[in-house]
């Protein structure tokens, strides 16, 4: 899934925990769950840069207006996005480095879904997760 999806969902779910450390590791677990949902992953670097800028934007917004977000949103979000660092290193190095994270090494499900359905499912997941946060 996109970095923005992982940060938003990790932050909105695990970020509800009061302890930053548990929020961070909860975010990592949310990455596993999200990767199991069929989704689109971009292949071009330019989309990665745009995704990263948007993800950093939501983290800055959470820092600037924390009252709009769960208490440890930033830590849950960072934990949610962290596993994809190995994907970034692999892509930038151009080397075939074997992935470690279970959903990247195919130990747990990681199902591709073509554009545009794979994009819209991520929008729906973020909307549902954010909606649940605001309702409860």
Provide the binding-site residues for Zn ion, judged by CB under 5 A. 35, 84
Nearer Cβ to Zn ion, position 71 or 86?
86
Distance CA 133, CA 10 (A): 12
The helix or strand, by DSSP H or E, that contains position 10, with its residue range, turns out to be helix 3-13
Nearer Cβ to Zn ion, position 85 or 128?
85
List CB contacts of 46: < 8 A, sequence separation 6 or more: none
Nearer Cβ to Zn ion, position 22 or 86?
86
Nearest approach in angstroms of CB 51 to Zn ion is 12
Residue with the CB atom nearest Zn ion in the bound state: 84
Nearest approach in angstroms of CB 65 to Zn ion is 28
What's the distance, CA 22 to chain centroid? 16
């Amino acid at each position: 899934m996109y970095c923005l999806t992982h940060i938003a969902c990790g932050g909105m779910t695990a970020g509800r925990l009061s302890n930053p450390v548990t929020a961070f590791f909860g975010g990592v677990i949310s990455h596993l769950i999200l990767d199991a949902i069929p989704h689109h992953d971009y292949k071009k670097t330019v989309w990665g840069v745009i995704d990263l800028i948007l993800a950093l934007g939501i983290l800055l917004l959470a820092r600037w207006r924390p009252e709009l977000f769960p208490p440890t949103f930033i830590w849950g979000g960072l934990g949610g996005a962290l596993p994809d660092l190995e994907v970034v290193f692999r892509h930038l190095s151009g080397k075939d480095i074997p992935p470690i994270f279970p959903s990247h090494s195919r130990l747990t499900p990681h199902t591709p879904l073509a554009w545009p359905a794979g994009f819209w499912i991520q929008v729906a997941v973020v909307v549902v997760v954010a909606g649940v946060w605001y309702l409860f």
